[in-house]
Structure 1
Amino acid sequence: MKRMLVGLAATAVVVTGTAAALSMGGKSDTAAASPPPQATADIVRGGLTDTTSLSGKITFTGEQAVRGHIAGTITAVAAPGRVLRQGQALYRVDRKPVVLMYGKLPLYRPLRQGVKDGPDVRQLEKALKALGHGKDVTIDDRFSWATARAVRAWQKRAGLPQTGVVDAEQVVFLPSKIRIAKADVAVGDSVSPGRQVFTVTGTDRLVHLDLDVADLALARKGAMVKVELPGGGTVAGKLVTVGAVATSREGDATIDVGVRLARIKSGLADQTPVTVLLESISRRNVLSVPVEALLATADGGYGVEIGGRVVPVKTGAYGGGRVEIFGPGLEPGMKVGVPAT
């Protein structure tokens, strides 16, 4: 896993006076001061963030298989990548369309006048209304005469025999609009009930990550992240799914994580590689200096050069090439020595 440190912009607070005027209590037990630096940088007060960089891919949600319920010859089929909405034909068998309607329940029985006590009837009536049929239809659990009339009107427009009966040879119920991910049949193929004809997905795009189980603490559901796109540029994202079961791949245990993009840029195809920055540490209102300002001291610690002498400091979070520092008398705006660039 590649790791990268990213720092938030910090606003320096300039303090009057010079670093040379700093009065540090007590005598330093550090090694002799290093030679005068060739350059200086400010001690800055602001935010510091440590993030982890992960490789991911843009995917579409809700992949599932669609199977046929009719025998015959495929005479038309929707192309991969196409988005289909309610009322549109997924494919045609012997020139008869199999139409998409919205509903969560599969069409498990023929629906005709007199059928009742079923949410399948309700979802059919709701779909007919949405498609502009069934002005007089009451959306309930009973297939009425008015429902049968609405079905015949829909069948006429769809190019189906006007029987007033709906079955799985005519309609596929899916919860919402779908995207054709893969067509498993082609024009001219013979099909029979039960054969897979499509792999479909939803139209929402997520960034999929395989997160090491050891880094699971980074996956805070609802957290905002940054997504770096190919060719430059970033998009905000939100962590929306965290898998509950680890998967072992090549000896490494990982968890599936999904990030929803705040906006979708054109040209981002399925499986487009991206980089996601997950925040692991975020510190606010801290003092920091460039990492290269740190000097090793004789006692194994660190110091920074201020006014020609090495002042001992303790370090905290790292991010964006900066490091959080602690120590008596440190103030924002003081100058610390750094190597010349």
Structure 2
Amino acid sequence: MSGMFTDRDDGSTAGGPGQDPAAGGENGEVREAEPLPEGTAPAGTPGRRRHRTVLVAAAFVVVTAVAVVGALGLGGGGAEGPEAPPRAGATVAVTRTTLVERTKVEGTLGYGTETPLPVKATGTVTWLPEAGATAERGDTLLRVDDRPVVLLYGTLPMYRELGLTAAATAPETGASPPPTPGGTGDEGSTSDPRGGTGSASNPGGGTGSASDPGGGTGSGKGTAPPPATPTQPPPPPQPLRGMDVLQFESNLAALGYGGFTVDEKFTSATERAVKDWQKALGVPRTGRIGLGDIVYASGRVRLGQAGVRLGSAAGEDVLTYTGTTRKVVVNASALEASWAVRGAGVTVGLPDGTPVKGEVAAIGRQATAPEGDSGPPTVPITITVPDQRALGRLESGPVSVEYVGRERENVLAVPVAALVALAEGGHGLETEDGRFVAARTGLFADGLVEVSGPKLREGLKVRIPQ
């Protein structure tokens, strides 16, 4: 029927007028499709889908361009975009100050180098002190043959016994005078040497024949010898003189003994004072000081470890000593020891971090090569600590010593972090407004650096970059 769809045996459909030109007609024939008007396309065809895709893409490009222009502030009503964030970093002012370069070196706290005591006593050691004991003027250092060896103060060593000296030998008194030649005899008889009176031929001095050498009793009268005079007492001893006497008498007076004049003469008055001192020591009162009875030191001493045992023979190595003042010794490089000037102040850092003031007391004059020949030679530098109480109970141990190496007064300075490296070389500073100015560097100390340059002035604000 015209205008109706019918089912075919093969499942296909056929349409009437207006159906798809590609479909068959009533007789199953295929007819050519009629051409459509130019520029048109049936709905739902691929050509239309492609056209819609192109339109969507174009719209996306336009929207994106508008967004970019708006973001750049080039359109959209002329509104300004946000400003760029400021640069990070603090600003500081160039200051005028004094820079001090400080350097730390290692040192050792102790009592100094032990020195042998000049003990001159001979005999057997019968008593020794404990190591670390202190002794002062008048104290017993040790006992030799149970006799005390006493400490006195002085710089002149003991080199002789002290006491009164014997007087010079005088001619003996009471002896007969030598015979007088010729004696007193008869006139003209001068040949009689024994002083008798007689003839010249009688040598015996008597009267007799010439052949009698014995000299009997002649007519001559001989002279009797003078009577012997009584023996004279020996002259008194003479005073001993010398600087060692003055040094000893000064100590004897300091110990509380008097009755004599402190001078260079050891007199009988000094002898009496010595006997009183010997009585207090419990030794025989001889009034004389033996060579090994005393030992001189410059002051109080701290005794070290004994070099011998009880029962050994005494000698100069029997005991060692140090001073009683704690000090610091630094083995400084001989090439960098110019800071060590006698009297220069330093800071001693104790093991617990406590700072203590010190002072350079002595600089060694002999350099020593380190062990293994590694590094430059060193010289010992001794540093004293005036306030011994600040050291507490610490007697020895490692410490640090901080000294002033160089010092620059009245210079411009900035923090080291403010320095920047310039492309053309050297260093510079960035000002607050972003300019860079050249700066010559000098001393670095305590986190600051000395700077100088024609464009630098005190108070100029510079930036510390981060």
Q: TM-score, normalised by structure 2?
A: 0.60
Q: Which residue of the partner structure matches residue 294 of structure 1?
A: 419
C-alpha separation in 2, matches of 1:73 and 1:317: 62
Work out whether residues 123 and 314 of structure 2, in 8 Å CA contact, stay in contact via their aligned partners in 1.
Answer: yes
Contact persistence 1:43–1:336 (CA under 8 A): yes
Does residue 274 (structure 1) correspond to residue 399 (structure 2)? The answer is yes
Distance 1:266 1:79 in 2: 23
Separation in structure 1 between the aligned mates of residue 394 and residue 420 of structure 2, nearest angstrom: 48
* Partner residue of 1:138 out of 252, 261, 266: 261
For residue 217 of structure 1, what is the amino acid of its counterpart? S
Look up the equivalent residue of 1:309 and give its one-letter code.
R
Distance 1:220 1:326, change over 3 A: same
Equivalent in the alignment of 2:457: 331
CA distance in 1, matches of 2:296, 2:145: 21
Q: Which amino acid aligns with 1:53?
A: K
1:246 to partner: Cα distance: 1.7
Aligned equivalents of 2:106, 2:331: Cα separation in 1:
8
Give the deviation of 1:94 after TM superposition.
Answer: 4.5
Offset of residue 195 of structure 1: 4.7
* Contact kept? 1:315, 1:323, Cα under 8 Å: yes
Report if the CA contact (8 A) 1:88-1:99 is conserved: yes
Report the Cα offset of residue 98 of structure 1: 1.4
From 93, 101, 111, the equivalent of 1:42 is 93
Specify which of 206, 215, 231 is matched with residue 336 of structure 2: 215
Task: Decide whether aligned partners of structure 1 residues 262 and 41 sit closer, same or farther in structure 2, where only a CA change above 3 A counts.
Answer: farther
Aligned counterparts of 1:141 and 1:91: Cα–Cα separation in 2? 28
CA distance in 2: counterparts of 1:138 and 1:166, whole angstroms: 18
CA offset at residue 62 of structure 1?
6.8
Residue of structure 1 equivalent to 2:428: 303
TM-fit CA distance, 1:325? 1.0
In structure 2, the CA distance between the partners of 1:232 and 1:66, relative to structure 1 (3 Å rule), is same
- Which letter maps to 2:141? L
Deviation at 1:296, TM superposition (A): 0.7
Is 1:124 paired with 2:248?
A: yes
CA contact (8 A) 1:67 1:193 kept: no
Cα 1:124–1:62 change in 2 (3 A) is: farther
- Look up the match of 1:255: 379
TM-score normalized by the length of structure 1: 0.81
Residue in structure 2 matched with residue 178 of structure 1 by the alignment: 301
The residue number in structure 1 matching 2:73 is none
Return the offset for 1:315: 0.8
Write the distance in 1 (CA, Å) between the matches of 2:361 and 2:147.
40
Q: How many residues align?
A: 302
Aligned to 1:9: none
Q: Identify the structure with bigger relative contact order (alpha carbons < 8 Å, sequence gap 6+).
A: 1
| One-letter amino acid of the structure 1 residue matched with residue 448 of structure 2 | R
Is the CA contact 1:57–1:271 (under 8 Å) kept in the aligned structure 2?
yes
The answer to whether the 8 A contact 1:61-1:203 is kept is no
Q: Which amino acid aligns with 1:300?
A: G
RMSD: 2.2
> Hey, what's the Cα distance between the residues in 2 that align with 1:131 and 1:273?
39
Q: Secondary structure at the match of 2:117?
A: strand
Q: How far apart in 1 are the matches of 2:145 and 2:443?
A: 68
| SS class of match (2:241) | coil
Q: Which amino acid aligns with 2:263?
A: D
Matched ranges for 1:140-155 at <5 A: 140-155=263-278
**Partners of 1:55 and 1:275 within 8 A in 2:** yes
Which residue pairs with 2:446 in the alignment?
320
Larger Rg: 2
- Counterpart of 1:80 in structure 2 is 131
Moved more, 165-174 or 46-55: 165-174
Q: Which structure shows the higher strand fraction? A: 1
- Structure 2 distance, partners of 1:192, 1:167, is 18
Partner of 1:5: none
**SS of the counterpart of 2:379?**
strand
Question: Residue 270 of structure 1: CA displacement?
Answer: 4.3
CA contact under 8 A between 1:53 and 1:276: conserved in structure 2? yes
> Any conservation in 2 of the 1:291–1:323 contact (CA below 8 Å)?
yes
The structural deviation recorded for 1:333 is 3.5
Question: Which runs of 5 or more structure 1 residues have no equivalent in the other structure?
Answer: 1-34
What is residue 6 of structure 1 aligned with on the other side? Answer: none
Q: Which runs of 5+ in 2 are unaligned?
A: 1-85, 166-238
**Amino acid of the residue matched to residue 323 of structure 1?**
V
